[in-house]
Every structure is written in C-alpha cells, then in structure tokens.
Amino acid sequence: MADPLPQELHDRISALETGREAGEDFDARSWVWLIALGVLMPAVLLLVGWLAA
C-alpha cells in the first residue's frame, strides 16, 4: 500500500478543496486577452507578412 499523504500536504489539499485557498481560473477578460494575443494578433501578423511579400 502506498504511504499516506504527509500531514502538511493533507492540510494544504484540504484548504484548497474548500476553495478558500485555491487560485482562480481564467475569467472572461483573460479569455479576451488570450484570444486577442494568441489568435487574432498572429492571424493579422501572418496576413500582413504574406501580403507584403
């Protein structure tokens, strides 16, 4: 049988499971930035680079 979780790790996980100590996922504003910088901007750059050649 595997070792049980160390007490400190167990406490950390319990705190995270309550949601109190957990961080937050991307919100709507983050998604806007992600799509703007990771999808739209590359698309525009690629188009400009191709047309300018």
Partner 1 sequence: MARSVSDVAVAADKSAWPLLRSERTWGPWRLAIALATAAAATWCYLIGEYVGQYLNFFQGALALSAGSMIGMLLVLLAAGPVCIRYGIESIASTTPQFGSRGWVIPAVMQLISIVGWNSLLLIFFAKSLSQLLMVLGWMPAGVNVRNIVPAATLLACGLVFLVLRRGADGVSRVSNILVLHVFIGLWMLYLLVTRRWPELMQAQPALARPDRLWNYTTGVEIGISSLLSWWAYIGAMIRMAPHGRTIAVPVMLGMGAPVPLLSLIGIAGVLVLKSSDPSEWLRTVGGPIYAVIALTFVAAANFGTAIAGIYASAIGLRNFRSLEKRPWSIILLLTIAPVALVGILIPELFFARFGAFLAFIGVGFAPLCGIQIADYYVLRRRRIAIRGIFDRSPTGEYFFWAGFNPIAIASLALGCLVYLYLLNPLTYESHGPYRFLTASLPAALVSACIYIGLSYLFVVPAGRGGYRGPA
List binders of partner 1 among 1-53 (CB under 8 A): 1-3, 5-6, 8-9, 12-13, 15-17, 20-27, 29-31, 33-34, 37-39, 41-43, 45-46, 48-50, 52-53
Distance CA 49, CA 45 (A): 6
What is the smallest separation between the CB atom of 41 and partner 1, expressed in angstroms? 6
* Distance from C-alpha of 8 to C-alpha of 24, rounded to nearest angstrom: 22
Supply the minimum distance, in Å, between the C-beta of residue 40 and partner 1.
10
Number of residues that bind partner 1 (CB under 8 A): 38
Burial 13-40 (b: 16+ CB within 10 A, else e): eeeeeeeeeeeeeeeeeeeeeeeeeeee
Give least dist CB 53 to partner 1, A: 6
